[in-house]
Amino acid sequence: MIEIKFVLNNKPCALNVEANERLLDVLRNRLGLMGTKEGCGEGECGACTVIIDGKTVNSCLVLAPQVDGCQITTIEGVGNRQSPHPVQKAFVQVGAVQCGFCTPGMVLSAKNLLDKNPQPNDKEIGVAMSGNLCRCTGYDKILRAVKLAAEEGKG
């Protein structure tokens, strides 16, 4: 076992992990953070997206020892029912959530984009969201939600 320490959703966290344990499994199975989803398990769908040191990452492709010393944000650190993040509000407002399986990853990708670039153009939004697949919505409402969150941010 390897001891790792990291900051998870602004709280310090330390635990012992196997050398070959995936971050996705640590989050879901050991820490109970079920908002991070497993879709493909091979880096294609973005359902397992988390933010590590300011970058969106597929947690199914990250080994737990790699996050020693890192800052990690999962969907649980972004907002909640009582106090949703502006991106989450926008997703609800435009109806960008259907089954919801892709939504945590989508929200994290959108949040990370807007944190760095509060007024992105359509192309920048498309690039930022290109690693997140959705089988339900046809993407139009998701892109509208990201634009709406950016608009709301202006005010």
Residue ranges that bind ligand FES, judged by CB under 6 A: 38-41, 43-48, 58, 60, 97-102, 134-137
CB nearer ligand FES, residue 16 or residue 132 = 132
Closest separation between CB of residue 140 and ligand FES, Å?
12
Task: Kindly give the pairing relationship between strand 49-52 and strand 71-73.
Answer: antiparallel
16 secondary structure, DSSP code: E
CB nearer ligand FES, residue 43 or residue 153 = 43
Closest separation between CB of residue 49 and ligand FES, Å?
7
CB nearer ligand FES, residue 100 or residue 118 = 100
CB nearer ligand FES, residue 4 or residue 97 = 97
Question: DSSP readout, 47-112?
Answer: TTEEEETTEEEEGGG-BGGGGTT-EEE-GGGT--SSS--HHHHHHHHHT--SS-SSHHHHHHHHHH
CB nearer ligand FES, residue 7 or residue 136 = 136
Closest separation between CB of residue 122 and ligand FES, Å?
20
Q: Report which of 15, 60, 17 is spatially closest to residue 42, judged by C-alpha positions.
A: 60
Q: Reduce the DSSP state of residue 41 to 3 states and report it.
A: coil
**CA 116 centroid distance within chain:** 15
Amino acid identity for residue 71 in this structure? Q
Closest separation between CB of residue 38 and ligand FES, Å?
5
Closest separation between CB of residue 44 and ligand FES, Å?
5
